[in-house]
Amino acid sequence: MSMIGAYLRLARVGWVLVREGVVSALPTEGMPPLARTAHAFAGLLERRKASREDRGDRLARAIERLGPSYVKMGQFLATRPDVVGAEIAVELSALQDRMATFPRDAAVATVEGSLGRTLDDLYVEFGDPVAAASIAQVHPATVRDANGERKVAVKVIRPGVRQRFAHDLEAMYAAAHLQETILPNTRRLKPVEVTRTLEQTTKVEMDLRLEAAALSELGENTDDDPGFRVPKVDWERTGRDVVTMEWIDGIKMSDVEGLRAAGLDLDKLADTLIQSFLRHTLRDGFFHADMHQGNLFVDPQGVIVAVDMGIVGRLGKKERRFLAEILYGFITRDYQRVADVHFEAGYVPSHHDTASFAQAIRAIGEPIHGQPAETISMAKLLTLLFEVTELFDMETRTELVMLQKTMVVVEGVSRTLNPRFNMWKASEGVVGDWIRDNLGPKRLLTDLRDGAHAALRLAEAAPEIAAKAEKLSQDLTAMAEKGLRFDAETAEAIGRSEARHGRSGRIALWVIAATLVYIAWKVG
């Protein structure tokens, strides 16, 4: 029944996408004849109004109709341009949460239930919602402490969203399995694994304590950074279903005219944004992975403030080194090094030729150089990169794709501030400094220090390791001399299992015998 329900929900999703004109707006290039026929038929079923909208509006309307789970899925797929294509990923990144607010009384009940205190005990004032998203909505409030009264933002989980997402997830898994079955060439994109990642990230996002922890961690990492910060968390008023944080009085980064009227240097803001993102990624290995315009403010001091840390990304030390070398290789036109790094990291299977891959990378990188800044696009580069990696059997790397997607979004925001924004020029200083500090002589000292720490930990654990090794040696010697022995409980369990299998085997033999007798009788 669960699978039947999943396929019924999947059928509803397909119907909504057809009616809102999303299917008919897809490009037909490369489609097989049967798919082209289905595409044309879908155009006959769409609403008349849908045909007058562009694809981004159609997609936004369809996702809005499908509900909170699909808004979240749309946002997540914006992090996977390898799956949906760079162009659609950009459209999904621009998709804002267009959800209706839920009643204030429901929010109050959630807050009190999560924190175990009355609203009056927690807040001096608690206002009506000012923003609603797929998973939660935000209320302005006032708190009083030893320093007096201060305004805060209270983010409250949407009632019933966990149950709704669990049901919709079954349809998403069904779609992923169908994709792998019907389109085997897309298996390298790992659609089932993508859905599993969506499930995990959304479960994390639905625990607002973890978002608060992410804000706290990024706040500590960026404490001394110029031009960037995140809101401070009020841990006393934070629980699984509610997070209270500093209220940000600032101008949204989407309000370019407002920023200009405030006398802010838009070119400097554009550079600061991309440099901050790269600093978080390379230096800390921890970055805000949903940095669209709706989540970015500029405070009265001209500092960029990032909110909504529900989606974050992490990179290990090795991945950061590979990323820096790949970026720097593109910047300096060292395409052979870019290719070598892909092979060293295992991103491209070793049976391919590095020189051929370097040639393909050159075809991507050379068009970037010598062009006017406004024509250089990370989104275009990623489109080409995904096409090339498919030729070389490069499998999806979730951590890198999320990073690449965030780069596309951050570049897009910077370009709205400065139409002539050159991401490569703005990035060069941060990437170059990181490479000098981490891949030069300093790296040797760091590696020696890390090696010494590892050796010290190994020395501390040596007695325990030796004791376990001795015990293992004694057990192996005993088994060699006396054979494999079980304790009484294990032997009894094996006996019960064998008895069950024996009964099952006898029943199966009787069924087979009866079937053979029946067949012989019919033939006779």
Per-residue pLDDT at 264 exceeds 80: yes
DSSP sequence for 392-460: TTPPP-HHHHHHHHHHHHHHHHHHHH-TT--HHHHHHHHHHHHHHHHSSHHHHHHHHHHHHHHHHHHHH
151 pLDDT above the threshold of 70: yes
The whole-model pTM stands at 0.68
Give the pLDDT confidence score for residue 81 in this predicted structure. Answer: 61
Least confident of 235-244, 265-274, 382-391, 413-422: 382-391
Instruction: Write out 360-394 in H/E/C secondary structure.
Output: HHHHHHHHHCCCCHHHCCHHHHHHHHHHHHHHCCC
For 168-199, letters b (16+ CB in 10 Å) and e give: bbbbbbbbbeebeeeeeeeeebbbeebbbbbb
**Token digits for 236?**
């006393």
227 vs 32, more confident: 227
Quick check: 290 and 413 in contact, CB under 8 A?
A: no
Give CA–CA dist 416/463, Å, rounded: 61
Give the pLDDT confidence of 327-359 residue by residue, as tens digits.
778 778 888 988 888 888 777 888 888 899 889
User: How would residue 444 be classed by pLDDT, with cut points 50, 70 and 90?
Assistant: low
Please indicate whether residue 514 or residue 424 has the higher confidence score (pLDDT). Answer: 424
DSSP 295-326: GEEE-TTS-EEE---SSEEE--HHHHHHHHHH
Instruction: Please compute the mean of the pLDDT values over residues 247-272 and round it to a whole number.
Output: 92
Identify which of 61, 67, 97, 84 has the alpha carbon closest to the alpha carbon of residue 165: 67
Main-chain phi, psi angles of 138, to 5 degrees: -115, 135
Q: How far apart are the first and last CA of the chain?
A: 43
Q: Is the pLDDT of residue 93 over 70?
A: no
CA angle at 438 for the pair 433 and 442, rounded to the nearest 5°: 105
Q: What pLDDT does 515 receive?
A: 45
87's tokens:
């162009």
Q: What average pLDDT does this structure show over 219-248? A: 94
pLDDT digits (tens, 9 = 90+) for 399-408: 666 777 677 7
pLDDT tier for residue 509 given thresholds of 50, 70 and 90: very low
- pLDDT of 2 strictly over 70: no
Cross-strand partners of 243 = 155
Neighbours of 142 (CB within 10 A): 14
Percent of the chain residues topping a pLDDT of 90: 25
Q: Rounded CA gap, 61 and 58, in Å?
A: 5
Lowest model confidence (mean pLDDT) among 98-107, 146-155, 206-215: 98-107
Q: Which pLDDT score is estimated for 431? A: 78
Q: Considering only CA atoms, which of 195, 187, 240 is closest in space to residue 213?
A: 240
Mean per-residue pLDDT of the chain: 78
Q: Of the segments 27-36, 136-145, 499-508, which one has the largest average pLDDT value?
A: 136-145
Q: In what order do the strands lie in the sheet with 304-306?
A: 228-229, 304-306, 296-298, 251-252
The residue ranges of DSSP E strands in 202-272, in sequence order, are 228-229, 233-239, 242-246, 251-252
Higher-scoring residue by pLDDT: 367, 119: 119
More reliable by pLDDT, 7 or 487: 7
Q: Which is more confident, 188 or 427?
A: 427
Q: Which active-site residues does the annotation give?
A: 290
DSSP string covering 160-205: THHHHHHHHHHHHHHHHHHHHHH-GGGGGG-HHHHHHHHHHHHHHH
pLDDT at 510: 46
Give the confidence band of 375 by pLDDT, cuts at 50, 70, 90: low
Write the CB contacts of 228 (distance below 8 Å, at least 6 apart in sequence). 222, 272, 273, 276, 303, 304, 305, 306
Residue 518 has pLDDT above 50, yes or no: no
> Has residue 501 got a pLDDT over 50?
no
